[in-house]
Amino acid sequence: MPFDKFIDTAVPLPATNVDTDQIIPARFLKATTREGFGKNLFRDWRYDNEGNEKSDFVLNQSIFSGSILVTGKNFGCGSSREHAAWALSDYGFKVVISTFFADIFKNNALNNGILPIVADAVTMSKIFKAIEIDPTTKIEIDLPNERWSFDRETYSFEINAFKKECLIKGYNNMDYLVSKKGPIEKFEQEHIYC
Amino acid sequence: MSKKVKTLFDKIYDKHVVESRDASPDVFYIDRHFIHEVTSPQAFDGLRKKGLTVARPKQTIATADHNVPTLNQHLPIKEMLSRIQVETLTQNCKEFGIDLYGLGHENQGIVHVIGPELGITQPGMTIVCGDSHTSTHGAFGSIAFGIGTSEVEQVLATQCVLQSKPKTMKIEINGALSEGVLSKDIILYIISKISAAGATGYFVEYCGTAISSLSMEARMTICNMSIEMGARGGLIAPDEITFEYLKGRSFAPKGEDWDKKMAYWSTLFSDPGASFDKVINFDAADIEPMITYGTNPGMGIGISHAIPTDDGTGEIDKAMSYMNLSSGENLEGQQIDYVFIGSCTNSRIEDLRLVADFVKDKRKADNVEVWIVPGSKKVEAQAIEEGLDQIFLKAGFELRQPGCSACLAMNEDKVPAGKYCVSTSNRNFEGRQGPGSRTFLASPLTAAAAAVTGKITDVRKLLKNTTYAV
């Protein structure tokens, strides 16, 4: 799905080092399709052992909503499970903002139409504060211009030009790689491990 | 004639770039691709939907490991979803012509154990798998890293991924290790120093005398946990120890092919003066047996140290609440309930030998349940041949069948909520070993000591005059 410019509210999750086992616990990785992971997103933070909602967890607090997740540093560390990106996307998140992301998660997010935005620590504390004061704070995401803004201030972010184009146009890496069949086969003729 | 000075990583990376254009990531060639039942079904589905096929089926190797039971593997898998996932792998491999070492096969085991032990993993290769611990294979001087399922699909279809070259980091550790300190302690020490995010964006080369003196098994333990400090992967320059390990293994090159490969392998080192984006040095003598206290692998301390206090971020306080421990406490003497010796970090024959050697003529404490899960069928067979199974039996340790098991608790091997487990695996995340489980990561020797005493123990106090190889 092409990624357009949009404005939305955000969900704050200030925890640091949120690992992929928290985003989607291993016991929910038994599916053979990509659908339906959103209901188990942050499962053990969201529900108790009996399946009741934990009222102190942000996804269970109705004052917070929106397709933007604002979170602490090193989000998505741990396992390579793309199920973490599928769960976030299935739940409805389109953007995650953090001081930085684990490498594999970042790739997985981009491959699933989720935009990871890296912000500095000062900006992060401002946005957390803004949402705390007013949960209806609107954030504008402007991918084409690599900018995002809230409270009348605008911040820039960086994204690889190729990844940006893929997101905006809804392309994926597969089409590009398949188009490289010729060069790949040529490479193989000379390569030691082929 | 001056040649450009390169790091080991750069040498291998540059050799695998099919195409490099300014505006796009590199088209990066993959020599070997490992797949397992959990992260591959959606990739095969994607191929079918797009009408694509597997480009190089002989360069992909499959095994069933994450979801498999570790008892009664000759019987059908009881749990329906796990069974379907394992059966789906079998069908996909059949349909696309991929060799599968499934349950019951003599080569079955944890993907990062079987690759090296079969000689599939070789120096200078590029290796990927839909599993973050693919970094393990870097121990052979290869570029090995974990990928997501979309990329698994891309590798199946094209034998390539799109890759932007990461930064490089050198971690050098010199000096001799103290008694009772293993390679697991080295890597837990490094992560505790640079944090669970300290190498994000980097590919790490480990070097120094404390690394080059290690066996291949011990090197694999180090590279395995590179991802736990955020690194894309870790690698160690191949040397005589590497070549000796490889010689004669099923998939290792033979005859003339061996000589041809050796000519390549002998070029695989960082040139003197090669520059890294970051360099960190450690002294091996500073490392003592390590234990983690919190809920990420960076939260580790030497066994004689106290749990640190929160730095104001709330992270340690949050972890203490989950672990039901307190800052300022020492962990030595902490009562435990389970010991898990296994996982792609520490389930190789050397690990099992070390544990057997330590527990010979000892018995586990009554309050502890001990699971030993070998990394592969070959490790299991070797352990039985050497009589290690008898030592474990006498000690009250349960030797199970190969798989990922309680490392991530996808099968029945779960640590119950609130219970403490000393584990040789790689992650102490909340709920990792089962919902509510509490994990202490440690070396196989520290785990064996805890099994015997029923408490977290400084293994050095039990080692009187015995020397253990690392």
- Is B396 exposed, middle or buried, given 0-12, 13-18 or 19+ CB atoms closer than 10 A? middle
CA distance B86 to B144: 24
Q: Identify the H or E element spanning A140.
A: strand A139-142
- Confidence label for B24 from pLDDT (cuts 50, 70 and 90): confident
Chain B touched by A21 (CB under 8 Å): yes
Q: How close, in Å, is residue A184 to chain B by CA atoms?
A: 6
State residue B469's pLDDT score. Answer: 45
Q: Do A79 and B132 touch (CB under 8 A)?
A: yes
CA distance B159 to B32: 9
Name residue, tokens 């609130």.
B418
Name residue, tokens 């972010």.
A157
Q: What is the mean pLDDT of chain B?
A: 96
Q: How many CB atoms lie within 10 A of CB A47?
A: 17
Chain B residue at shortest CA distance from A179: B158
State residue B1's pLDDT score. Answer: 45
Each residue of B304-348: pLDDT tens digit? 999 999 999 899 999 999 999 999 999 999 999 999 999 999 999
State residue B470's pLDDT score. Answer: 44
Torsion B274-B280-B286-B289 (CA) sign: negative
Nearest to B188 by CA among B350, B281, B280, B297: B297
Each residue of B228-284: pLDDT tens digit? 999 999 999 999 999 999 999 999 999 999 999 999 999 999 999 999 999 999 999
Angle at which helix B388-395 crosses helix B377-385, to 10 degrees, equals 80
Under a CB-based contact definition with an 8 Å cutoff, are residues B402 and B101 in contact?
Answer: no
The DSSP 8-state label assigned to residue A148 in this structure reads E
Q: Does the domain at residues A6-190 carry the CATH identifier 3.20.19.10?
A: yes
Question: How far is residue B203 from each of residues A73, A187, B10, B121, B223, measured CA to CA in Å?
Answer: 20, 24, 10, 18, 11
Q: How close, in Å, is residue A179 to chain B by CA atoms?
A: 10
Extended strands (E) in B317-393:
338-341, 369-372
CATH of domain B293-462: 3.30.499.10
- Confidence label for A4 from pLDDT (cuts 50, 70 and 90): confident
Mean pLDDT of A81-109: 97
Each residue of B397-421: pLDDT tens digit? 999 999 999 999 999 999 999 999 9
Report helix, strand or coil for A74.
coil
Mean pLDDT of B110-116: 98
**B123 pLDDT higher than 70:** yes
Question: How far is residue B276 from each of residues B9, B131, B219, B394, measured CA to CA in Å?
Answer: 10, 26, 21, 50
State residue B466's pLDDT score. Answer: 52
Widest CA span of chain B, in angstroms? 69
Each residue of A28-43: pLDDT tens digit? 999 999 999 999 999 9
Q: Judge if B8-279 and B293-462 fold alike in CATH terms.
A: yes
Per CB-CB distance under 8 Å, the chain A contacts of B201 are: 103
Report helix, strand or coil for B383.
helix
Using CB atoms, pick whichever of B145, B148, B409 lies closest to residue A26: B409
CATH of domain B8-279: 3.30.499.10
Q: Percent of chain B, pLDDT > 70?
A: 98
Q: How close, in Å, is residue B357 to chain A by CA atoms?
A: 33
Q: Percent of chain A, pLDDT > 70?
A: 99
Q: Give me the residue spans of the domains in chain B.
A: 8-279, 293-462
State residue A2's pLDDT score. Answer: 77
Q: How close, in Å, is residue A32 to chain B by CA atoms?
A: 5
State residue A180's pLDDT score. Answer: 96
- Convert B88-107 to b/e letters by CB count within 10 Å (16 or more is b): bbeebbeebebebbbbeeeb
State residue A3's pLDDT score. Answer: 87
State residue A172's pLDDT score. Answer: 85
Each residue of B351-382: pLDDT tens digit? 999 999 999 999 999 999 999 999 999 999 99
Across the beta sheet with A10-13, the strand order is A10-13, A68-71, A95-98, A115-118
Chain B touched by A54 (CB under 8 Å): no
φ/ψ region of B8 (left if φ > 0, alpha if ψ in -120 to 50, else beta) reads alpha
CA distance A36 to A33: 8
Chain A touched by B279 (CB under 8 Å): no
CA distance B439 to A47: 21
Under a CB-based contact definition with an 8 Å cutoff, are residues B180 and B443 in contact?
Answer: no
Q: Do B150 and A82 touch (CB under 8 A)?
A: yes
Each residue of B425-469: pLDDT tens digit? 999 999 999 999 999 999 999 999 999 999 999 999 999 645 554
Q: Identify the H or E element spanning A141.
A: strand A139-142
